[in-house]
Amino acid sequence: MKVTSFGEVLWDDFPDGKVLGGAPLNVAVRMRSLGADAAIISSCGDDEDGRELVRRIEAKNVAADLVQTSECPTGLVKVSLDKNGSASYDIVYPCAWDKIRPEAAALQRVAESDAFIFGSLAARDEVSRATLAQLLAQAKFKIFDVNLRSPHYDTARLLDTMKQSDMVKLNDDELFELAAAYGSPYHSVEQNIEFIVKLTGIKILCITLGNHGAALYVDGQIYRHSGFRVKVADTVGAGDSFLGGLSYQLLAGTEPQQALTFACALGALVAARHGATPDISVAEIEAFMNPA
């Protein structure tokens, strides 16, 4: 399985230190750990933060040869955690990943990939947004990870991008916000899933529900999992690992309910640990899902 992510690579700056981050990178790291050939298309600054970021990406066995060098500084996000471990973010602008250029090697890699994964944050700047448009034109299967980070998004542009995508992931707050923005009269998760699917033509739509699990729409049917209970360390990257696990399973042909259960277990295990991409083996996920 060959997958390619596009978008932000950055340092999540916690009160106790900096951790490798960026949603598209987190998804790529998780899919690589499950067995995929994973690469990231992004940009870092010509600075020590950027060089260390590339070293850390390579240490996670994700291909970093498509990470460009920019005159802008390497991405940095100030992360604040509340008493429940839920994170809020102060995202510096502009930074290197706002200025990703279209390159022939990146276009070729996307064309050869089984899936192309990207988010909404990297489309906040016109340079990376124009590059994303070129890459989308090459992609076979497009997975859109919507991350609404105010004020870095435009609802009309998001709708257009969803219409170009094969699979979309939202959390429940994002589902209700976007559905309302597009004129939905509904108040339930299921009704708004149907509303968004009808509006966009998406084949697969996943809604994460925090500690209440997730809902997954595939081929006219909605699957649900109520989630796994863990003591939360922090929520950073849990949704990204969830998406990585779900995408890997679905691309591998796993039936939707089983894929959703696996993804929920993986997301819970990440939330129970500090940082976005802790090492978690498939054996550990299986044991967590089905304890002896």
pLDDT tens profile 192-241: 999 999 999 999 999 999 889 999 999 999 999 999 999 998 888 899 99
Q: In the predicted model, is pLDDT for residue 91 greater than 90?
A: no
The neighbour count for residue 278, using CB atoms within 10 Å, is 16
How does strand 67-70 pair with strand 37-45? parallel
Residue closest to 241 by CA, chosen among 7, 34, 20: 34
The neighbour count for residue 117, using CB atoms within 10 Å, is 30
Q: In the predicted model, is pLDDT for residue 31 greater than 80?
A: yes
In the predicted model, what is the mean pLDDT of the chain?
95
Average pLDDT over residues 277-285: 94
Average pLDDT over residues 257-269: 97
Summarize pLDDT for 157-199 with one digit per residue, the tens. Answer: 999 999 999 999 999 999 999 999 999 999 999 999 999 999 9
* Concatenated DSSP letters of 158-204: HHHHHHT-SEEEEEHHHHHHHHHHTT----SHHHHHHHHHHHH--SE
Cα radius of gyration rounded to whole Å, the chain: 18
Question: Lowest mean pLDDT: which of 41-45, 207-211, 248-252?
Answer: 207-211
C-alpha to C-alpha distance for 285 and 290, rounded to whole angstroms = 9
Amino acid in the structure at residue 271: A
Domain 2-289 has CATH 3.40.1190.20: yes
Report the pLDDT value the prediction gives residue 13, as an integer from 0 to 100: 86
